[in-house]
Structure 1
Amino acid sequence: MKPSCIAPLAFALAAFGALPAAADHHGAKAEPALAVGEFRTATSESAGIADLSEGPKGVVIRVNVEGLEPGWHGIHFHAVGDCSDEGFQKSGSHAHHDSEKPPHGLLNPEGPDDGDLPNIYANENGVAQAELYSPFVTLAGAEGRAMLLDEDGAALVIHEGPDDHMSQPIGGAGARVACAVIRKAE
């Protein structure tokens, strides 16, 4: 490889988290922000886990949840870390970083909002395992993104059906069937 190609390659690898964490200006290693959430459903207090890791440009989310109906399901970040009620309505609407909340939908030319994510798929046993990425949220307080670990927290909510990524307000995904309060990992 030509030496002139090394710097752009290193930048690209670092931007996507493929290189080790960089040292900060004091020489200490900068560790990524980490968070976790435990899913609950209407029938189970412990239906799975979401692990979240902050990268330089967004958050990687690993989801492992059971007890879903087989098929596609919408999944979104909601603005309040509260999954205590039936139907998970206390989790509020989608997470957003300012008062100028755009319309919902990853395919919407005027969207997406900060809470939008791709759908996940539950197999014939009702188990969904997925790795998702969002450039719209932050754990560590990156500017211009919805903060998931703020005073009222945030939740990761799974819906009964797929998100069409266009319809308002939630892409026609239906009722909330699973919910995980996002907490800083210890």
Structure 2
Amino acid sequence: MRPILLASALLLPLGACVSLTENHYGPQPAEQAAMGDFGEATLRNAAGEAIGRAALTQGPTGLLIRIEASGLTPGWHGVHIHATGRCDAPFTSAGGHINHAAPAAPHGLLNPDGPDDGDLPNIHADADGRVNAEVFTSRARIAATGPGQWLWDADGSALVIHAGSDDHRSQPIGGAGGRVACGVMAAG
């Protein structure tokens, strides 16, 4: 019984050090929320219906993006960060991938000369068309400083989900097909 009391006494002060701010993605540390290191996007299909969301969290070495969506075709889907924060169907208004290398890097996580800044791993929709995934990139950021391309520039950025999987090699988008969902990313 004595070790349990000692452990409880040691943990009590630690629990008092963290305050939480509630948002619709769950609690976040208030100190980080004040720094603006969180973002979000409502994902919409071509009919303009909200089909999911993406939550962006800045870390010290890159950006974590949590994607929750439904209504997709079962299987793998390419997902990319696009250079313009507009999502007018068929989502070509989102422009191309963020890609500020000079000269521009070619597409593909598996391309020996790539990847471009907007490349992300594929996501998988289950048999019911639902996605619950996390992807990470060190080539994009929402913090004022740090690694990666700044997403909160004058024309914003968008997260785009494609109809098929990205082969991570072929140009210009890895054969991922049409754009089936899009969300304008904004500070949370």
Q: 2:58 aligns with which of 47, 54, 57?
A: 54
Partners of 1:175 and 1:116 in 2: how far apart? 16
Q: Does 1:168 align with 2:171?
A: yes
**Residues 80 and 160, structure 2, Cα contact 8 Å, conserved in 1:** yes
Partners of 1:144 and 1:56 in 2: how far apart? 8
Q: 2:100 aligns with which of 81, 97, 101?
A: 97
The letter for the 1-side match of 2:118 is: G
Partners of 1:138 and 1:132 in 2: how far apart? 13
Q: Deviations over 1:152-180 (max 9, x none)?
A: 00000000000000000000000000001
Q: Which has the higher strand share?
A: 2
Q: 1:114 aligns with which of 107, 113, 117?
A: 117
SS in 1 for 2:50: coil
- How much does 1:144 deviate? 5.5
**Residues 36 and 187, structure 2, Cα contact 8 Å, conserved in 1:** no
Q: Identity of counterpart residues, as a percentage?
A: 48
**Residues 106 and 113, structure 2, Cα contact 8 Å, conserved in 1:** yes
- How much does 1:96 deviate? 2.0
Partners of 1:144 and 1:55 in 2: how far apart? 10
Q: Deviations over 1:19-65 (max 9, x none)?
A: x9xxxxxxxx5646100000000234211010000111100000001
Query: For this pair of structures, how many residues does the alignment match?
Result: 157
Q: Does 1:77 align with 2:77?
A: no
Point out where structure 2 has 5 or more consecutive residues left out of the alignment: 1-17, 19-30
Say which one has the larger Rg.
Answer: 2
**Residues 160 and 173, structure 1, Cα contact 8 Å, conserved in 2:** yes
**RMSD between superposed Cα atoms in Å:** 1.5
Residue matched to 1:142: 145
Q: 1:37 aligns with which of 32, 41, 53?
A: 41
Residue matched to 2:183: 180
Partners of 1:124 and 1:41 in 2: how far apart? 18
Partners of 1:55 and 1:100 in 2: how far apart? 27
Point out where structure 1 has 5 or more consecutive residues left out of the alignment: 1-19, 21-28
Residue matched to 1:23: none
Residue matched to 1:8: none
Residue matched to 1:67: 71
SS in 2 for 1:47: strand
**Residues 32 and 53, structure 1, Cα contact 8 Å, conserved in 2:** no
Partners of 1:151 and 1:144 in 2: how far apart? 19
The letter for the 1-side match of 2:123 is: I
**Residues 44 and 52, structure 2, Cα contact 8 Å, conserved in 1:** yes
